[in-house]
Structure 1
Amino acid sequence: MTPGELLALAAQSCADAASLLHSAEVDVAAKGEFDQVSSADLAVERFLRTRLTAGAPGSAVVGEELGASTARVTWYVDPIDGTRNFVRGLPLSCISVAAAVDGDLVAGCVLDPFRSELFTAAAGVPFSVRSTGLTITPGVSPRPLVLTDIPLPGSPHVGEMALLDWLLQEADVRRIYSTALALAWVAAGRADAAANLGVHPWDVAAGAVLVRESGGAFHQVGADGFAAGRGEIVDRLRSRLEGIVS
């Protein structure tokens, strides 16, 4: 399958999965000391695994909730990125799906079910946003707008508070607790940069494709961090993060 065909499958699968959320009964359980998983996470990931592997026979899935396996075509699935927001009814979460071929990310899709916004891009397919709600053309600000959840509770990294203090002096900062949605917003020009630590491949795979295909840069930092976006602030963020994780 071409990257465009993989993207079409991911986008339709996300749209169909989102319909499950309208009738889902949401039960919540603890997942570690600082995280949660809901019955909706599990239902959406099961649906996506079935739909994606049926649409791309022989493919495999790396998912947040139900395990990981790899193949020539591998899907990275985060059924609800921002579960803690979702279970409280805060409209800051999304469904995130990416496709990799021979280890290279080639397609990404992020669906915001609260706003019915679909962010898509693939190798050879330009970044686009499909929205049924109010959209504003991003304006220019004298200070860059940065999306970050740093510092996270329970983080093993020393220096995150100092990084946040520096960021507050250099940029407008928003904390939304959904990495995939943050990257989609960066790709759409609503923010200039995003950075986090403590992330997993399913958190960033789709968003990395969106940012890159929209003309931005995505930099992996250490084993569990990234800095992404456009402009000087991205390189400065990357340097600061490298100082924390080194």
Structure 2
Amino acid sequence: MSIDMTVHATAPQPETGSEMDRRAAFCLEIARSAGAVALDGFRNRKPGFGMKGPQDFLTETDAAVERHLKARISAEFPEDGFLGEEGGGAIRSDIWVVDPIDGTANFARDIPHFCIAIAFVSNGETEIGAIYNPVLDELYFARRGHGGTRNGKPLSVARTRDFDSACVEFGWSNRKTNERYLDVLSNILERGANVRRGASGALGLAYVADGRSDAYAELHMHAWDCLAGLLMVKEAGGVVAPFLSLSGLTEGGAVLAAAPGVALGMSEATGIALEAGK
């Protein structure tokens, strides 16, 4: 996977409401069509899987879903950029950022906790995001300034304020040391929270937006893993760390998303700063 950081676009033109409406409808459509490809691969997968690196799994379905999404997007919006986990891409002012299967380790081991994650970024702002678990047929969707939904029902973060009743998710990344991970994990546990790890960061963020979890944190994530989910949490009333403003699109970075009642405590425990003014 490679990322061409050169901006391959003319001067950006502002999106009209009707253009963004079309993109939003298209995003919902391709999330479901990609989900059909993923579900077929999950039900009919062959034994075994490939490895891109330590604890970095790869299946034939990852590539198939990414090819499907890239072809659909290129046909509908040929001027847009495309950045996928498997094939990389070139950065443009208007760009679709895609994780074809987030939770590949789960997928490969017959665990139905995985998703397709799609985000549309325009001029440095995530405008649209979709996260779809095809096994459960749960489609999360958000549009900047328009709120978020799961299967059409509004999303809202939890009202939890007491860490003794909080349930949070803390993702592991091999791009940070185990010592750092364990130190942060200990900090969260000492505050009294229950900590779990589902091995799909995109779904972890969606669950914060849905109130199923009180927070999600990870010391390093790539853009395709988190952009859609960060938008959903914000649109559902949650608090997040800055990401795109800190070169997250090209380099990735730390991620924190939380219900307001536990956001400051999670920031202190993880050492991940929240967006200014939050």
TM-score by length of 1: 0.88
Aligned to 1:143: 165
CA–CA distance in 2 between the matches of 1:230 and 1:138? 6
Q: Separation in 1 of the partners of 2:60 and 2:129?
A: 24
Q: Give the equivalent residue in structure 1 for 2:80.
A: 59
- The residue that corresponds to 1:165 in the other structure is 186
Q: Deviations over 1:215-235 (max 9, x none)?
A: 112204775211112124222
Whether 1:36 and 2:57 are equivalent positions in the alignment is: yes
1:70 aligned onto 2:91? yes
Superposition misfits of 4+ residues, deviation over 4 angstroms: 137-142
Find the aligned partners of 2:111 and 2:96 in 1 and give their Cα distance.
Answer: 27
**Partner Cα distance (1:96, 1:83) in 2:** 12
Given residue 242 of structure 1, which amino acid in structure 2 is its aligned partner? Answer: G
C-alpha displacement of 1:8? 1.6
Q: 1:104 to 1:66 in 2, by over 3 A?
A: same
Query: What does residue 134 of structure 1 align with?
Result: none
After superposition, give the CA deviation of every residue in 1:48-107 in whole Å (9 maximum; x if it has no partner): 011122222301111100112122310110000000001111111100000001121111
- What does residue 136 of structure 2 align with? 115
Question: Distance between the aligned counterparts of 1:243 and 1:206, measured in 2?
Answer: 19
CA contact (8 A) 1:187 1:216 kept: yes
CA distance in 2, matches of 1:226, 1:241: 10
Conservation of the 8 A alpha-carbon contact between 2:158 and 2:214? no
Indicate the percent of aligned positions where both proteins have the same amino acid: 29
Query: Distance in 2 between the 1:39 and 1:176 partners?
Result: 22
CA contact (8 A) 2:85 2:98 kept: yes
One of 192, 198, 214 as aligned partner of 2:236: 214
CA contact (8 A) 2:158 2:208 kept: no
Could you say if the C-alpha distance between residues 53 and 82 of structure 1 is closer, same or farther in structure 2, counting changes exceeding 3 Å?
Answer: same
The equivalent residue for 1:26 is: 45
Shift of 1:158: 3.8
| Alignment gaps of 5+ in structure 2 | 1-14, 247-251, 274-278
* Cα separation, 2, equivalents of 1:85 and 1:164: 22
Matched, 1:239 2:273: no
Pick closer, same or farther for the CA change 1:66–1:243 going to 2, 3 Å: closer
Shift in CA distance, 53/87, structure 1 to aligned 2, threshold 3 Å: same
Contact 1:180-1:207 within 8 A present in 2 as well: yes
RMSD: 2.5
TM-score by length of 2: 0.78
Total equivalences in the alignment: 239
Q: Tell me which residue corresponds to 2:5.
A: none
Task: Give the match for residue 12 of structure 1.
Answer: 29
